[in-house]
Amino acid sequence: MTIIQKLREKDTDFKENALNALKTETIFSELLEALTSKEDTVRSNSFQSLLYLSEEYPERVYPHWDYFAGLLTSRNAYHKYIGIYIIAVLAQHDEERKFESLFDMYFGLLDDKSVIPPSHIARNVGKIMKTHSHLEEEIINRLLSIDETQHEPGRKALIKGYIIEAFHDCFGEIKDKKRIIDFVREQTESESPKTRKAAKEFLRRWDHE
């Protein structure tokens, strides 16, 4: 059975596919190509395999940084989604400091016309801030400027919920805690029930109610 045939199976073993790609360059290349497949199952399974490789064997995937960075400029929101997640993982192993040159493009997706990229940018911020503490202020500035984006109020409210969830992962290391707390307090009156809940849970966790 070829790798593409395996990727078409909804219950495929993505870890097995990933490990096969680790050993065989041809399979790895086919996984990369499958990321932009028009078949949802193929694309999704390929992504899961490459995400696993990025997390467990980043040295194998990091040389393909530019490929994943290129997905951020795709017209396809799901392609951007893939790039957002893989880059966030690889950024934790960014020995060549490539993320800094990608910063504006990456966080520029907070103003994407679709709600998908900004929501997932927010979800992955914790991974980036933990290894790029020198970018903390700039990252927080981008996140807390979500009201300046083109999104309608309801979408902004939803994205703010994801931003709050992201701060859960790295709040202990954040220097300007008061700024974050002030932002979260404002969201306790959000029009989004999910965001209101996230804000209240955040404040309970960090004892700032």
The pLDDT score that the predictor gives to residue 108 is: 97
The pLDDT score that the predictor gives to residue 188 is: 96
The pLDDT score that the predictor gives to residue 208 is: 56
Low-confidence ranges of the chain (pLDDT < 50): none
pTM of the model: 0.92
Q: For residue range 171-190, what is the model confidence (pLDDT) as tens digits?
A: 988 998 999 999 999 999 99
Are the C-beta atoms of 34 and 42 separated by less than 8 Å? yes
Between CA 15 and CA 47 the distance in angstroms is 11
Burial of 8 (0-12, 13-18, 19+ CB in 10 A): middle
CB within 8 Å of 18: residues ≥ 6 apart: 31, 49, 50, 52, 53, 56
